[in-house]
Structure 1
Amino acid sequence: MSTLTVFYIKLVLIAFSSVAIWLGARSDSFWQQIQEKQQENRLLGFGLILFRLLPFILVYVVMNYSPRGDVPFFWGKATVAYQGGLVYRDFASYHAPLFSYIITLPILLWYTPKAIVLLMVMIEAAIIWGTYRTYKSLQTNAFKSIMLYVVLSAPAVMVLLGGQEDIWLWGIAVWMLYYFLRTKDDGLGLGLRFSAGLIVIKATAGFWLFPLWFLLKKRWSFLLGMILVGVPSLVILYLLMGMDFLMPLQMTTNLLTPNLFTVVRPLITALLGNAPDLPTFSWIGMVITLSSAVWMLYFARHKPLKQTLPLAFLATYIAMTIFQLSSPGYYVFTYMLPLVMELVNWKKSRDVVILLLFNALLVVQPFLFTHLNSPTYDDITVLGEPLFLLEYTLQLLNVACYGWYFLKVYQKARFA
């Protein structure tokens, strides 16, 4: 199947999901009937089969499509781990130490990269289910929101065709939220769960600790939970591989798109007379990301944690996609689910339209960017060509959507 054919299929998915979500956002009576008949669990399970499992079978079994995106990189790590290799020492990895071994588990049963995609689909489904179980006690329309997320084409493309794992970060966050709702304890147990992300997923799982810290009452008990997981993990890693375990902390300077840096890069290049220094701007982006998230949630520190924990997560990772030069659009998979649950008002047409636009941009822009050989626009004259101008415009619209949702987090943290 050609790349262009896959793109056309994505466009069909965008059109279908847009119509379905537009109608679903306005069909309050339909959702009410489902709840009255207590069919939520059955319909959610059916939705996951229809929009995740069946497409997987169609694409990878029937059509025998080869996985792309990050999956070939994951496959390279998993195969070495499968043979007994040691992460960081025997193969490169910028993920947490356990990640490579987790993605090895499915290939014990099915030795193909497709098994890794299936694992990603299954874990996303578990996180969706866990999010619904958590939010149904917090929001009256939780089922409606979770089902409309399942119908969105962008998350489906990201997990099915991209093999993305970034939603795992939200999985840790919603696990913490579920635990807090049951125990009302924001200390040791929450710290233990937070640390799980640092040893299972990747270093960016720790970014939202900075705004979260100001929201906790039992901060030092939370820190103790982190220490109980972190210190033994560091000791074991050091004994096994020396200082090689610091590999995930290496700052990347790979310019990915779209983010604020990529859309202003032509202006910066014109002002400096040369391409900007990537490591410098990477550190600047990191500082702005963390400080803006902390500033935003500081105003909400006296509100209940059940309200502010998701906002701390959203503030951090939306800021990351705005300000980090190494953040691609697919990083939105990190926070798309809580964004739908927390920031979209289905009764407002504006909210639905912006979500559908955002959904389409996340699918279309990466294809066009890759098709044009990843332009950096250091030579701004290329914008005179229609396709380059279109791709750059899509980047601008993407960043504008990030900004819109970042503002919504601020408004909810400050005024709601």
Structure 2
Amino acid sequence: MNFLQDTVSIVKIAVSVLLALASWLLIRFPAPFRHSLNQRPGLTLWSSFILLRLIPFVVVYLILNFGPRNDTEFFYKKAYSAFQGKMVYRDFLSYHAPLFGYLISLPLYLWNNAKILVPFMAIFEFAIVWATWRYYRSTRPDALLMAVLYFLLPVSFIAIVLESEEDIWFWGVGLITLAYASRKQSSLWIGVIWGLSMIVIKSMVIVLLIPLFFLVDNKFKYVLGLALVGIPSVVILYLLMGDAFLMPLQHSGYHMTPNIVSVTRPVLSGLYNQISLTRLNTISLLITMSLASWVAIRYKHLGYQKLFPSLFILTFAIFMLAQPSAPGFYLYIYLIVVAFEVLKMEDKALAFQLILLNVLLVIQPIVWVVYGGMQNYDDWKTVFSTAACTTDYLIQVVEVILLIVLVRKVYTHVKTLDRATKPSFAAQS
């Protein structure tokens, strides 16, 4: 395929580069933006939403009349099946939680078209951004700037406008648990809320539930909260459809990029090819939960409210690095948390790395899928077989390095929080 003929790819890359430049200007020269944006925060948030979500939707889908692609099309198929009253897993394919298809079918009552899912997801995203800004505005003077930056970042833009992704919902659930963290019976309610996410969003949240077990104050009540939702749900699903409700587990049957396995495959393909992808995913899942659990145990004294945002980032970032079936766009799960919790305006290096990672995560799937033939790179000969394969592999290497740097930065942030609490401990003693 001629690169110039792939209009969608060119537009994706061009828009991503422009958004990256705008993001960098916001970081590089924050003072004038801070002064003008802080005057009317509500107007700023709404304007960002309209300019960077609603207007692009109108231009792309209503004026230019582009048809939805990728996940939007797949989401519509399950939403339409749910809209018709069909049974999830038994009557239609779904790798999400049992209630997800029925939830995203709601906008079809307004307009039975796949395009409606884009503004539907954008509204959810906007509510989560607004709630995140409200949560951080008392501790971060530049919280509004971070909200605008989030709307500008290429991955969040593409994830909503072109893909209608839902992964940011996990952070929305996390925000709700943070609101309950200081209340009585907090561990119970945290378990109930995360249990609900398992039946509303998707089962991938299990990677976070184990580390949270070591973070909550009352582990028994946390497990009880999960069980209050989980056990009746499993019983009902089994009675309705037998073991068909295990369908989401099949989603891990595909190689994705970038991750440690994909970039080390030219060297370790002999080892990887002796292990099934399912087993590799299981091993990586155990590695992710073990490392995240260690952080939760090591820094439990910081408490749920202080540690959870960083633990959230670390868990899903390590998951991206370790899991052979994790796509790069999983950055969307925790991108907003990185902006509000870890990124500082004075840390220009981290800001540049984050923006670069955003751009590369847009470009790399295009190179890998459209021009590289989705190669697994079992040897160096394949890596250097074509210019597209070489470019793709090098981009993957840079992405993995940037993700490792991000994990290290977040862990350093956790240690900084830990040091900040030690004087208070000394004073108490």
**In structure 2, do the counterparts of structure 1 residues 36 and 121 end up closer, same or farther at CA, with 3 Å as the change threshold?**
closer
Identity %: 35
Deviation at 1:198, TM superposition (A): 0.4
Q: TM-score, normalised by structure 2?
A: 0.91
Q: Which moved more, 1:402-411 or 1:360-369?
A: 402-411
Q: For the residues of structure 2 that align with 1:95 and 1:274, how far apart are their CA atoms? A: 28
Matching residue's letter, 2:340: M
Which of 21, 24, 29 lines up with 2:23 in the alignment? 21
SS in 1 for 2:373: coil
SS in 2 for 1:137: coil
Q: For the residues of structure 2 that align with 1:36 and 1:60, how far apart are their CA atoms? A: 32
Structure 2 match to 1:264: 264
Q: For the residues of structure 2 that align with 1:297 and 1:354, how far apart are their CA atoms? A: 26
Deviation at 1:273, TM superposition (A): 9.7
Structure 1 match to 2:424: none
Q: For the residues of structure 1 that align with 2:220 and 2:5, how far apart are their CA atoms? A: 52
Q: For the residues of structure 2 that align with 1:340 and 1:365, how far apart are their CA atoms? A: 22
Map residues 309-348 of structure 1 onto 2, 5 A cutoff.
Answer: 309-348=308-347
**In structure 2, do the counterparts of structure 1 residues 140 and 249 end up closer, same or farther at CA, with 3 Å as the change threshold?**
same
Write the deviation string for residues 377-403 of structure 1: whole angstroms up to 9, x where unpaired.
124313223221111001111111111
**In structure 2, do the counterparts of structure 1 residues 359 and 3 end up closer, same or farther at CA, with 3 Å as the change threshold?**
farther
Structure 2 match to 1:64: 65
Q: For the residues of structure 1 that align with 2:271 and 2:234, how far apart are their CA atoms? A: 42
Would you say the 8 A contact 2:34–2:145 is kept in 1? Answer: no
Would you say the 8 A contact 1:187–1:221 is kept in 2? Answer: yes
Matching residue's letter, 1:238: Y
**In structure 2, do the counterparts of structure 1 residues 25 and 251 end up closer, same or farther at CA, with 3 Å as the change threshold?**
closer
CA RMSD of aligned residues (A): 2.0
Structure 1 match to 2:88: 87
Would you say the 8 A contact 2:263–2:396 is kept in 1? Answer: yes
Write the deviation string for residues 139-193 of structure 1: whole angstroms up to 9, x where unpaired.
2221111111111122111111122111111111122123336x47632222221
Q: For the residues of structure 1 that align with 2:390 and 2:56, how far apart are their CA atoms? A: 33
Structure 1 match to 2:426: none
Deviation at 1:313, TM superposition (A): 1.1
**In structure 2, do the counterparts of structure 1 residues 185 and 41 end up closer, same or farther at CA, with 3 Å as the change threshold?**
farther
Deviation at 1:95, TM superposition (A): 0.8
Deviation at 1:272, TM superposition (A): 4.6
Structure 2 match to 1:279: 278
Q: For the residues of structure 1 that align with 2:350 and 2:379, how far apart are their CA atoms? A: 36
Correspondence 1:362 to 2:361: yes
Structure 2 match to 1:238: 238
Correspondence 1:388 to 2:371: no
Structure 2 match to 1:219: 219
Q: For the residues of structure 2 that align with 1:186 and 1:122, how far apart are their CA atoms? A: 28
Q: For the residues of structure 2 that align with 1:184 and 1:299, how far apart are their CA atoms? A: 24
Structure 2 unmatched ranges of 5 or more: 418-429
What is the aligned length? Answer: 412
**In structure 2, do the counterparts of structure 1 residues 413 and 297 end up closer, same or farther at CA, with 3 Å as the change threshold?**
farther
SS in 1 for 2:230: helix
Q: TM-score, normalised by structure 1?
A: 0.93
**In structure 2, do the counterparts of structure 1 residues 274 and 239 end up closer, same or farther at CA, with 3 Å as the change threshold?**
closer
Deviation at 1:331, TM superposition (A): 1.2
Q: Which moved more, 1:43-52 or 1:160-169?
A: 160-169
Deviation at 1:31, TM superposition (A): 4.7
